[in-house]
Chain A
């Protein structure tokens, strides 16, 4: 029994570009799937195929039990689409927009009017309901766009990067609306560039890159594959590396690789990395222990996996920018992909590459939360960069 959203072998090419290269999806009814991936990964193309906007070159898709290619108009009755670009008419008022959508969803004029009032109330737009949407803030427009997709309470919803470009407050607000929706039983496919967003909203995450799903699992599973939390230490003296390594190995979380082998060492930058579990408290212990041995530290930090880390470990290239792929690849060698399979066994190359990527352009909001925990001027500067 396929789920509320089901896709099998979707392929779509635009010229030389394989936007979708055999995508399989299966979203059980009442759950949320987060499609996570960088720009150009094929997320939007997948949504466009599933919402009947685009015909795939090959493959099969079933939404709400209806074949997307054979009965597109029946699918349209059962879905709501909320886009990356708030698609409402800017010269119409919020109320007029919703009434129009209702009528085009084939509600009677009276029913559409009542529903518009209801939705304006629910999305905190009642006061602005009779203003043209041109005057709305970005967050208001996004809420109206979402309301427009919910006019008939469709059982299946698609949201293409619903919070891209929103400030944290509006993002939070939209998240709670989405959570409410899902609690009501709606099946949702959500695309996002933010691991945090997928983390908050999705039951399952499918990581998309170059038109195919390269990994799937819960947020915890993906993070675990990426290596989970780890402590990074940069020692001041080359000569201290061996001692520091033995100290850190004592803190490594138990896994398939234990002892000193679990500690990654980058000799040239005097950096050691060890996967841990235990958070900030553990970090304090590490500092004390290193201090007790008289090891001078340039930088120390607790790092949680970011989208970049997930990407690096899965693909060997950074999520943020395709242009940095080559660089990340060079630094990291091919270790990224291998490391991804086994969190504890990350090769030195992979760790190096992920470090670079996080520094270069962390795309996750609040990604490296440990930034403030780093000691030393250089460390906090990095923290600010990566947190942006």
Chain B
């Protein structure tokens, strides 16, 4: 050690530096996933279990578009399960970030000359990769139980794109929760609890038509419902709501707008929180 002056190059400012740092952190989180494959595995088992349970337990009893056929419900359900899966995967972001804070890694990152939002962006990007993997596996399982698309591959990828965007948006909410609650245990449960009302007060598992008017109103404006409706439309699956609510009429736009809005708001809040984070 004879070098007195710092060898650290000047921090690249701006977007290029931010992207690079985010990718370095994302890589770190992806390596972690390969070292703890159980986490990814459980992330896969849960939605597969939901598909099987909903299909065989509820299928046949729930009316979709005037039919109680199990096959119709199966095809109705899949968009809901996809959307639920991408949102539930976000609880991991919160737990991961809370864990980093707890272990002192966030302190270390904050003492480095790196882009401020990169630790969080890197984590959410890694989660996005995991989510994409889960969607892939889940869609294979879905086909195996009888799910079909009718509007072509292009529309299918558009639907998957919307799902990933929704998942990415929600992982910023998870990140904020992780920063606020500060312990990994609290982040795991705190990151899941709020997802139940969000995913159930929606069009994901049943049609909103049977809900009391005020609840139905909430369900139809739920960002989650917009994505589900958009996916049903793009997949050509049954049960597309003919409600007059704007997000139900323009689900693709509504889904895009909601997701971008969530990213903007929650990324801002999370990064601000991160900057003053104390473990």
Contact = CB atoms under 8 A, between A and B. Distances in A.
B7 A153 contact: yes
A105 interface: yes
Contact of A83 (B17, B32, B104): B104
A-side interface size class: 35 or more
B212 interface: no
Contact of A79 (B31, B35, B104, B111): B111
A105 B112 contact: yes
A273 to B, nearest CB: 43
Nearest to B27: A100
A74 B20 CA distance: 18
Interface in B1-40: 1-12, 17, 20-21, 24-25, 27-28, 31-32, 35-36
B108 A105 contact: no
Interface in A158-190: 180-181, 183-186
A89 interface: yes
B161 interface: no
Contacts of B1: 150, 153, 180-181, 183-186
B185 interface: no
A87 B110 CA distance: 12
Interface in A262-306: none
Interface string B138-170: 000000000000000000000000000000000
A78 interface: yes
A100 B7 CA distance: 16
Contacts of A91: 31-32, 35-36
Nearest to A82: B108
A87 B103 contact: yes
Most chain B Cβ neighbours within 10 Å, of A78, A88, A152: A152
Most chain A Cβ neighbours within 10 Å, of B4, B24, B108: B108
A375 interface: no
Contact of A76 (B5, B32, B113): B113
Contact of A132 (B35, B105, B111, B113): B35
B114 interface: yes
B9 A106 contact: yes
B269 to A, nearest CB: 19
A92 interface: yes
B24 A103 contact: yes
Given A132-B35, A153-B1, A81 B108 contact: yes
Contacts, number: 117
A87 B113 contact: no
Interface in A139-158: 148, 150, 152-155
Nearest to B36: A91
Contact of A96 (B11, B20, B31): B31
A106 B113 contact: yes
Interface stretch (A47-55, A204-212, A248-256): A47-55
Interface string A29-70: 000000000000000000010011111000000001000000
A104 B10 contact: no
Interface string A71-98: 0011011110101111111111000100
A155 B4 CA distance: 5
A101 interface: yes
B109 interface: yes
A158 to B, nearest CB: 8
A224 interface: no
B69 interface: no
Given A100-B28, A103-B24, A104-B114, A78 B6 contact: yes
A261 interface: no
Contacts of A73: 11, 113
B31 A92 contact: yes
Contact of A53 (B5, B11, B32, B110): B110
Interface in B249-279: 276, 278
A84 B103 CA distance: 11
A89 B109 CA distance: 11
Most chain B Cβ neighbours within 10 Å, of A64, A100, A183: A100
A104 B12 CA distance: 11
Contacts of A105: 8, 112-114
A83 B108 contact: yes
Contact of B28 (A48, A77, A89, A180): A89
Given A91-B35, A106-B10, A180-B1, A53 B107 contact: yes
A181 B10 CA distance: 23
Nearest to B34: A91
A107 B112 CA distance: 12
B207 to A, nearest CB: 44
Given A104-B112, A132-B35, A184-B2, A87 B8 contact: no
Contacts of B10: 77, 106
Given A91-B32, A92-B28, A92-B32, A106 B111 contact: no
Most chain B Cβ neighbours within 10 Å, of A48, A64, A104: A104
A28 to B, nearest CB: 13
Given A91-B35, A155-B5, A101 B112 contact: yes
25 contacts: A53-B107, A53-B110, A64-B6, A73-B113, A76-B114, A77-B8, A77-B11, A83-B107, A87-B107, A87-B108, A89-B105, A91-B31, A100-B24, A104-B21, A104-B24, A106-B11, A107-B9, A132-B35, A152-B7, A152-B8, A153-B1, A153-B6, A154-B8, A184-B1, A186-B4
Given A48-B278, A106-B12, A186-B4, 11 more contacts: A73-B113, A76-B113, A84-B104, A100-B27, A101-B112, A104-B25, A106-B8, A152-B8, A153-B7, A154-B6, A186-B1
Which 4 interchain pairs have the tightest Cβ spacing? Answer: A184-B1, A87-B104, A152-B8, A76-B113
Interface of A: 48, 51-55, 64, 73-74, 76-79, 81, 83-92, 96, 100-101, 103-107, 132, 148, 150, 152-155, 180-181, 183-186
Interface of B: 1-12, 17, 20-21, 24-25, 27-28, 31-32, 35-36, 103-105, 107-114, 118, 276, 278
